[in-house]
Structure 1
Amino acid sequence: NSAGIMQLLQKYGAKSLESTLVNKKRSSMNDLKEEPVEHDIKGSKEDNEDTGMMQLPSQEFAMGCSVLHQAALGNQFEMDLILREWPALVNFHDYDRRTALHIAASEGHVDICRYLVERGAAINRSDRWGGSPLDDAHRHRHADVVDLLQKNGAKFRSSSQATNFIAAASEGNIDKVKALMQFGNIDVNEGDYDRRTALHLAAGEGRLEVVELLCEAGADVNIEDRWGNRPLDDAASAKTNSAGIMQ
């Protein structure tokens, strides 16, 4: 399917970025600001509970950034060293309000997620786009993380049509994609928090039928996500990964 998707995208004028590494490791550390900003470090189990806002000292802010970085890497040892000294940083978030639990859930680091939950991470904290760690785990198909979070009371938070549309495209649910396009107020080029559109996800997952539908509907075949990747790059990455599995 990946080869067919690449041919289809190229038929619609898709181009690949030569500088893009097809197996690039995505890290939410790209989101972090260099200067200290206000961070909500007094975590709560629910978003509607009162939380304290404070300006963090530079060292503590740097340690909070490191917690997010270690969550992306899956490095529990380094994270534990930091959180033993600054336990409140378990709920440190970047300017998109994404915590270490959001990031670890996105990356599928189930042991890190378990560790963060045990240390009191806010399991239902919403990021800037209304997504919870459970939404992230489900979107990236990390079933073990989904199971862990749900057993600890996690809830799905993101219910927008755009989110459902992108998820349906990723899953290859052609009927749902068609229904949302027909009856919903859908912008086919709207992206998620990483600016990844339905076409990015469908191409990366090998959903040929969905890719064709989106292209016919006028989806931008050269739209770039946060890392500069285009749908054709995702299709190429899927093809490379599939070839590696077959060898």
Structure 2
Amino acid sequence: MGCSPEFINQIVSRVHEEFFSRGKVMMEQNSVVDHLYFIGEGKLEEVVVYEGGLKEEILELKPNDSFGDVSILCNIPQPYTVRIRERCLLLRIDKQSFSNILKIYFHDRKKILNNLLKGKEGNVHMKPMVAKIKAQIAMQEAHLALRVNSATYNGDLFQLRDLIQAGADPNIKNFDGRSPLHLAASKGHEDIAHFLIQVGVEVNISDNFGNTPLLEAIKSGHEKIASLIINKGGSLMINDGGNIMASSAERGNPNSKDYDFRTPLHVATLRGSYGLAKLLVKAGANVLSKDRWGKTPLDEAKLSKNERLIKLLEEATTIQLSDNTSTSQELLLVTDKMTRRKCTIYPFQPWELPKDQNKYGVVLWVPYTINELIEKAADHFKLDLPSTSCILTEEAGQILDVNMIIDGQKLYLITT
């Protein structure tokens, strides 16, 4: 794999020619290397000395080969001795100049490292060196991903453009599997999203959680970026095999939820975005889905006072309820169970053990009001409900709002 012409030109402008006679040792095994050499004429040999003094010739070096690169690139002592076999013309560049060039043309660094692996992976004596080279490749990839995604996240178009023009992969992913386009769509950086699409990034690419850039844009309410991605064939969801599940965004699955159980349709309707809401409804968004506070997308639309949007969701609600009543009811039940929390209610005070040791609690879904929870628990235990009835925590604190309840929390019904 060849290096870029720009990188090669920089190297050529900084090398110095030197002639060396037969038998001269250019580099000693385990020595510190401060120069990289390219062979113009002649032949050299690489010799490694193993424990016990046993010598083994590893490789003959010929014109166009190089040496000293492994030590410099991997920051390790010279792994073998290099000795001249016949009179040579060598081109020499110092370590500092070479390292400075690599900082600019970092993509060529990976090409060089990959080239160094050729012919070495099958040699048992080369295993430590191969491991060092692969570690350097992995470190470079991680560092480059950090730089690219950091520039995208912070909205630094100029730095991102420089990195990509220097050879960085515009589709490179971070530890969550998110590409630069995911980040631009999520943060609302329109100029960066436009630039990434111009350079040909993959618009239908999923992160580790199955989210595509289009879904990120919709969830974050960035309508212009969503429209831009749609125009390039963006999809809402990709299946596990990496294939687009729909030929267009209108056939995806947009019912993912955030920490408040809000779907992209909740966000779109709260912002009054008719275009995004229409797209999501066509894609199969569940208009009956409730957030943490029991609100549906239609409830959010009414807050925006967008009559066109309200009409769209009212029609969608009617269709989803009437199209298949049993299916709609099952979907609503499943949605509620996935989003709501559970709690365990005990019919005694938290600071007292029950006289009846066999008296168990009951696990209930947390409803939308504290009064509903009290009534459900009392109904299960067949208890009367005086006006002073309340729900307490294990620390004897009174719960006033169901949003204070943690999923799986132990609570106590007080009716005395």
- Structure 2 length-normalised TM: 0.31
Structure that is richer in strand per residue: 2
Max radius of gyration: which structure?
Answer: 2
Q: For CA contacts below 8 A with separation 6 or more, give which structure has more relative contact order.
A: 1
